[in-house]
């Protein structure tokens, strides 16, 4: 059951997928249609899942699920991963690699391997105040308050010393 992401409770679970490049406006429209279709049909053991999505900076796809209605099962999580893998193939983009870091450089979002981010931190090319995207947040409340934060307030902080 597709709902507006902003109508989901704060405790709703989130999964964040960051792309290794920005999507074009045309791609974003297509992806939104595919998300609408997928989330409308997404179920756990035949029960509808109350879910929505948010797309930010033309590169982050966040799926939110109200687990108070029905919780995700292993099969439903597998279905969502399969859906994301299909997007990867169709748009020739990486959405599943968790070993990459996205951060702001002025108005732009940069995407680097973790090794490159560590080098940048060592060389002071990123600072404790660099805005990073903490894709480890687990619910909408954290997504709204702890997803886009200074590196010093995220797990990225360990690379800044």
Question: How wide is the angle at C-alpha 17 spanned by C-alphas 16 and 22, nearest 5°?
Answer: 125
Strands annotated E in 51-130: 51-56, 60-65, 100-105, 108-113
Q: Which helix (H) or strand (E) holds 70?
A: none
Cα separation, 161 vs 34, whole angstroms: 42
pLDDT in tens, 109-142: 999 999 999 999 999 999 999 999 999 999 999 9
pTM: 0.94
Distance CA 116, CA 62 (A): 25
């Amino acid at each position: 059951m597709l709902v507006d992401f902003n109508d989901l409770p704060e405790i709703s679970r989130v999964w964040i997928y960051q792309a290794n490049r920005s999507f074009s406006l045309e791609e974003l429209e297509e992806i939104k249609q595919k998300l609408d279709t997928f989330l409308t049909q997404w179920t756990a053991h035949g029960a509808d899942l109350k879910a929505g999505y948010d797309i930010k900076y033309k590169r982050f796809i966040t799926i939110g699920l109200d687990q108070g209605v029905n919780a995700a099962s292993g099969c439903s999580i597998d279905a969502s991963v399969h859906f994301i893998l299909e997007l990867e193939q169709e748009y020739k983009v990486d959405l599943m690699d968790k070993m990459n870091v996205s951060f702001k450089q002025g108005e732009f979002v940069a995407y680097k391997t973790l090794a490159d981010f560590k080098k940048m931190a060592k060389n002071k090319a990123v600072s404790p105040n660099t805005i990073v995207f903490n894709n480890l947040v687990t619910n909408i409340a954290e997504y709204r308050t702890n997803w886009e934060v200074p590196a010093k307030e995220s797990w990225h902080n360990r690379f800044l010393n």
